[in-house]
Structures are given as C-alpha cells and as structure tokens.
Amino acid sequence: MKMTSHYTFSPAGYRQRATIFSVMAVIIVAACILMGFDPSMLFTEFHYVIDLFMEMTPPNFHELWQDRTIGMAILETLSMAFMGTLIGGSIALVLAFLAAANTMPLAAVRLLVRAVLSFQRVIPSLFVILIFVAAVGLGPFAGMLTLVFSTIGTFGQLFTEIIENTQQEPEDAIYATGATRWQVIRYVILPQTLPSFTANLFYAYDINIRTAIGLGIFGGGGIGFQLFQAMRLLHYRDALALICLTVLLIVLTEKMSDALRGQLLGGGALK
C-alpha cells in the first residue's frame, strides 16, 4: 500500500519559523550575558545544591512538636489567607457589579472601575507587601492587606466577566414587566452568578494560601517567616521540616478547595 504525505513545504512558513527561532536564540543569549549566567554552571556547580540538600536531611520533624510558635504561625497563615480572601473577594464583587455593562449603565463609572482593577492586577504582590510592611510594620496584618489588594485585582475582573456572561433572555423578560435594575440584579443575575462567585472564592483561598506563605518570607508573618528564620540561622533540618509541613498544608487546602468547588459547580470545572 502506497503511503502519501500530506505535508507541503512552504517557504514562507519556513522563514517564519526560522525567524522566531533566531529571535528566541538571540533573547536567550542576551539574557545570559546580562545576568552573567554561564549554562555550563548547571553541570559544574550543581554539587553545591546536592551538598545543601544533604545538610537538610533528615528533616527535624521533632522541632515541629517542640516549638509552639509553629502552630501559631500556621494559624496566622490560614487567617491571613481567609481574611484576605473574604475581604478582597467582597470588595471585588462590589467593584465587578460597577464594572459590568449589564449592571452599571454609566460608561464613565465602568471605565474608571476597570482601570482600577487593571492597575491592581499589574502590581506584583511582593512590591505591595513591601509598601504595607513600611506602612503598618512586620507581621500578618501587612500580609493580610497585601492579599486583600491582590484578590481585588485578580478576581474583580473575573467576577465582571461572570456577570456579563449571564443569560440575557431572563433579564429582558423581567425588564419587560417593569422591574428596576436592582430587582433584575436580585432576582436574575445573582441566582445565576452566586454559585460561580462562591466557587471562585474557594479557588482564591487556595491561591492565597500559597501567596501568604511566600509573603511571610518578606515580613508578612506566618509559616513563611518561620521558614525564612530557619534558613537565615542555618537550621537546615528545621527548614526542611517546615517545607514538608508547608507542602502538606497546600495539598490539603487544594483538595478541600477542589471538593467544595466541585459540589458547587456540579462538575468541578471553574466557571
């Protein structure tokens, strides 16, 4: 049986792929030069990483039970993520109704709110935590404020899209009966969007747990700050135990979040 090939050589396509490959190669080489990075160091210097890992093993899990501040640090991290999600999600929800075209008739208000949400989304959390640490000092309060800020920016736009993607026919039908905009929001839009809002808040909590741990290293308190202290004091075995505890905390939170979102959305798919 004769085999035929459906591939057709295209000079234009070849030039396009060659151009993309060349540009990527130039970017990679330029980045290595700017960073002073020698790719051969991945092979010649990697033994330092192995040596450090050997110093960290076995993890000192006994320290986790002896040090009572570890339990408090875990509670701080969970509280930071919970309050950041609750407050930030609530504010994001309000701003989403002001930014959605089918709930806010004033174009100027919509543009202003969307600009605020876009501005918050582009600011890195590590930059925000430095500002709040300088403003309110070290500790979980600065971390919580940072999570509020990042949650508003990330989920405000998502909530806006959820509101705008509601079915238009029920809205038109209830408007035809003489209902006000508030009544349409209460009896049409909220019933359609509330399951997705709640499910996405669980997703936000899952993300904020991970973020809260990272923020702790930069002064946000919680288990991240304990990990930073252990590494700074060269208590590597304690640090590995904290890393294992952190991984367990993230996995449990993720499983809980996935299960709750699955029940709310019917199939577990994020909407």
**pLDDT tens readout for residues 103-144:** 888 888 889 998 888 888 888 888 888 888 888 888 888 889
Helices 68-99 and 223-232 meet at what angle, rounded to 10?
130
pLDDT value at 268 more than 60: no
- CB-CB contact of 117 with 153 (8 Å): yes
All structural domains of the chain? 61-265 (1.10.3720.10)
pLDDT value at 6 more than 80: no
User: Considering only CA atoms, which of 76, 99, 215 is closest in space to residue 149?
Assistant: 215
- End-to-end alpha carbon distance in the chain: 49
- CB-CB contact of 86 with 269 (8 Å): no
Q: One-letter amino acid identity for 230?
A: A
Q: What global pTM score does this model have?
A: 0.74
How confident is the model at residue 270, as a pLDDT? 43
Query: What is the pLDDT confidence band of residue 269, given thresholds at 50, 70 and 90?
Result: very low
How confident is the model at residue 91, as a pLDDT? 92
pLDDT value at 62 more than 80: no
Query: What is the pLDDT confidence band of residue 34, given thresholds at 50, 70 and 90?
Result: confident
Q: Vertex 173, ends 170 and 176: CA angle to 5°?
A: 150
